[in-house]
Structure 1
Amino acid sequence: MGGCWSKSSLQHALACGKRIGLIAGTDDHLGYPGAYGEGLAAVWAQDLSRESVLEAIKKRRTYGVSGDRIHLDFRLNGHYMGEGIPFSLEREGAIRVSGWDALDRVEVLKNNQVIQRNFPCDRIVDASCWDHPVLLRIEFGWGPWAAMDLPRICDWYFHIKISGGTLLDVYPCFQSGPFCEEKRNLIKNKTAAGCSVQSYTSRKEAFAENPTNAVVLRLSGNSETRISLTVQQPQPFSYEKPLSEFAQHNEVLFTGPFPAESIRIQPLVFSAHYQTEFRFNDRAGTDEVHWYYVRVLQKNGHLAWSSPVWVEKS
């Protein structure tokens, strides 16, 4: 159960008049800062210098993400998240979101009540969906199962090759695990034609005891672009398919008999589903302070939550 007390929630603090900037983290005591799934702080800073980052944190220009590094830009009447702004009867908000999975919904809240929802995952795509970069998530791990009490560490090394397309970016989703100087989670030899992945998976000391890591590829190409995997560890094998095979369905590749580890290639995510941009308008009276913030939920369950913008009384 833990200390889940509703009066310790963010919404309660905001309702009590507290002005809080949001970040995300964990108290699971594993001690792996930045590990996937354990919460991250996002900061809207002018640059990456210590001075700029600290200035942005002090101004509450921050938001939190649970795992995937969702890009969230929320402004009200042109002001960044975290600011307190003078009263205005008319308010216009602008939201831009770019996720690393399909966006289930983006919500705008005013004084803890949802006033608008946007549903990118419901958009219908057509042949033009290939005109923009797509996302392809490759997960690996899944074993050994907890019920079988097999706490082994599995080493991974595989190469990803893109033919007839371009690898634009690779996003790591590497969890915590038993620390060992010889074992590293690395993306190596990245070029426009592919990359190599060196990693390891284990249930021991993993977040939520989930022995799974992943990389997300951002690709430009078309339905005939081919992706190939050449796996060296834990079991040598090769695999190749066109991207069209992943337009609607996933693929599971087993490294051996049960309960051996496996690889799962998730369905493609098109830009219409992982990106959105919209505006909203609101009109409010002068009798109280209003605060607005944005929540983002991806279909894979990962979240982003912005710091509020407060509109003062007149």
Structure 2
Amino acid sequence: MGGDHALFFFDEDVALHRCSHWLQTDLSDAENDRDHITKVYDTFRGTRTISYPHIGGRPSDLTFHDPELEPVIEIHSKHGTFEWFLEESIERGYRVGFAAGSDDHYGHPGAVYPGPHIGHFATGNGLTALYTGELTREGIWEALKARRCYATNGARILLKFQVNGHWMGEEIESAGPPRIEVEVVGTGSIERVEIFRGMECIHSEEVSGRTGENRLRVLFAGARVRGRGRATRWDGSLKAEGARILGAETVGFIENRDRIVGVRETGLEWGIFTAGDARGFILELDRAVGEIEIKTAPASFTASVGEAMERPVIVEAGGLGQRVEVGRAPAADGPREANFEYVDREAGLGAHAYWVRVTQLGREVAWSSPVWVQVK
């Protein structure tokens, strides 16, 4: 009970416990099972142990949380992207950092690609980056416990995020408006860097800008459910009227079943899956006029090309953040670095969780752990 959790032990001689004896015939030690996460807390509280809530097939239940044992939570793995988990932790007021991993079941940590089972393994592995003074067992452990870390969906993006000179993971007080500093070095062109206060985006730094060409981007995002079988199938078609399609290129394709087929001047078809992430394509048009008609199982609609070029058209499709976004494509060769400051003059008195999300053009993403600020 309590969902999937991974346990990390600093010491080598820790007694191990099963969560159950499912599929086991020898029940002689069944009394040592820890069949509820609260029993795990009781067993390992006071030891050098980290309980790592993650999603996998059985999502962790954040109704249960031990601040001593759980400094971070997992928001991306080969199972998908779980920003809803991040959101729930913030809404509950938990002081947890954000991490990502593989969880591929095949023993290839950090080098995992989507598998054939779309219901379970629909994305690539994530990575957790740590700020530590030494690359040792002690240094890594201290950084995780301090929440001085950030998560990515696989790209080795460099992210430095501070509030009033304090690192991600810290809890601080501020006598005035918090001053936020962000430095990013990407692995590709950076589309935007967003600063959040809680779940409100208070600043979006548009790094790449929008192309002046007639390039229209269509993105599909989200997941069906929190548990197994979460991937959304966006197989569908697009018909263009009033403008000719000159070409199409993929965005964020990582699954070998993602594909674009049958590109014509008047339309195209595709097969795309998402599992909390975003994937899609960019159309090169001869002119920015007319309409496009998109048909998929989760959502079907018609959009004006001219209006979408001016302001993105977003169609919600239920589930967990399922949606389609149609808008002008970002500039293709934008900067790979961003460095800026932002002062939150609208911050009210009280406690606030500040965090940053970095998005590259190829849909590679990084999420900082929060800095918790008590504004006085």
SS in 2 for 1:55: helix
Tell me by how many angstroms 1:53 deviates: 1.8
Tell me by how many angstroms 1:119 deviates: 1.7
Determine if contact 1:123/1:273 at 8 Å carries over to the other structure: no
Residue 14 (1) aligns with residue 90 (2): yes
CA distance 1:5–1:209, change in 2 (3 Å): farther
CA distance 1:274–1:6, change in 2 (3 Å): farther
Residue 307 (1) aligns with residue 369 (2): yes
Across the two proteins, how many residue pairs are aligned to each other?
176
Match of 2:205 among 118, 130, 148: 118
The answer for the alignment partner of 2:190 in structure 1 is 103
Q: Once the two structures are superposed, what CA deviation does each residue of 1:30-76 show, in whole Å capped at 9, x if it has no partner?
A: 33101153001100111212222211111100000111100000000
Larger relative CO (CA 8 A, sep 6+): 1 or 2? 1
Determine if contact 1:24/1:65 at 8 Å carries over to the other structure: yes
Letter in 2 for 1:277: N
The answer for the alignment partner of 1:291 in structure 2 is 353
Distance 1:58 1:6 in 2: 21
Tell me by how many angstroms 1:209 deviates: 4.2
The answer for the alignment partner of 1:275 in structure 2 is 337
What is the aligned-residue RMSD (CA, Å)? Answer: 3.1
Residue 29 (1) aligns with residue 105 (2): yes
SS in 2 for 1:32: coil
Deviates more, 1:17-26 or 1:114-123: 114-123
| TM-score (norm. length: structure 1) | 0.50
Tell me by how many angstroms 1:17 deviates: 0.8
Distance 2:59 2:109 in 1: 23
Distance 1:279 1:107 in 2: 12
Determine if contact 1:89/1:285 at 8 Å carries over to the other structure: no
Tell me by how many angstroms 1:26 deviates: 3.6
CA distance 1:56–1:296, change in 2 (3 Å): same
CA distance 1:69–1:104, change in 2 (3 Å): same
Distance 1:34 1:121 in 2: 28
Q: Which runs of 5+ in 1 are unaligned?
A: 125-206, 212-268
CA distance 1:210–1:35, change in 2 (3 Å): farther
Tell me by how many angstroms 1:87 deviates: 3.4
Stretches (4+) displaced over 3 A: 1-8, 207-211
SS in 2 for 1:121: coil
Q: Once the two structures are superposed, what CA deviation does each residue of 1:278-307 show, in whole Å capped at 9, x if it has no partner?
A: 110013232x31010000111111110000
Tell me by how many angstroms 1:123 deviates: 8.1
Determine if contact 2:353/2:371 at 8 Å carries over to the other structure: yes
Matches within 5 A, 1:1-314: 9-35=85-111, 37-122=124-209, 208-209=255-256, 273-283=335-345, 284-286=347-349, 288-312=350-374, 314=376
Distance 1:74 1:49 in 2: 23
Distance 1:122 1:63 in 2: 25
Q: Which runs of 5+ in 2 are unaligned?
A: 1-55, 63-83, 113-123, 212-253, 259-331
